Amino acid sequence: MTEEQRTPRILIGKPGLDGHDRGAKVVARALRDAGMEVIYTGLRQTPEMIVEAALQEDVDAIGLSILSGAHLPLTERVMALLRENDMADVPVFLGGIIPADDLPALEALGVTGVFGPGASTEEIVALVRGAVERG
């Protein structure tokens, strides 16, 4: 089947209970400006809500913004749900306040990339685009 004009579709979600969505919005905006279609799901999503939305929207990548410190259990749950739904091939990115000590664990969970507060939007766009094109 021909894919004449495949536009990347990216879901940006905020699992957990912290109410700070500025980072998520900045990233959503940057991906939009890079020509991608961003499905923005808003604050206080459960992993179940995020994976359900990712499935219905048939996204090419998922970006999770987590500043609550609960990134390990939340990410683990999202990854498990993706596997259950036969969506393990969808790359997952993480943004927020993530201690360096947790990076190996996140990598082991299958997370494609982690962006801290210092990451530039160019860097994020490039990594997401690369992951989507590989997929």
Partner 1 sequence: MDDLLLQVRQGRPRAIARLITLVENSETAAETAVTALYSATGQAHIIGITGPPGSGKSTLVNELAKEFRRQDRRVAIIAVDPSSPFTGGALLGDRVRMRDLAGDTGIFIRSMASRGSLGGLAEATAGAVKILDAAGFPVILVETVGAGQAEVDIANAAHTTLVIEAPGMGDDIQTFKAGILEIADILVVNKADRPGADRTIQALELMLHMGEGSATRHHGRLLSTPDNGPTADGAWQIPVQATTATQGKGIPELVVDIQRHYAYLQASGVWLEREKERSRRELERLLQARLLRQLQVTVAPDRREALVTAVAAREMDPYTAVTELFAHLSPSKQAGA
What residues make contact with partner 1 under the rule CB under 8 A? 1-7, 9, 28-29, 31-42, 45-46, 48-49, 52-53, 55-58, 85-87
Count Cβ atoms below 10 Å from residue 47 Cβ, excluding itself. 21
Q: Which is nearer to partner 1, 7 or 99 (CB)?
A: 7
CA dihedral 45, 46, 50, 51 (to 10 degrees): -170
User: Look-up: residue for tokens 């699992």?
Assistant: 15
Q: Which is nearer to partner 1, 84 or 107 (CB)?
A: 84
CB of 99 vs partner 1, minimal distance in Å: 29
CA dihedral 90, 63, 9, 123 (to 10 degrees): -110
Q: Which is nearer to partner 1, 80 or 87 (CB)?
A: 87
CB of 108 vs partner 1, minimal distance in Å: 26
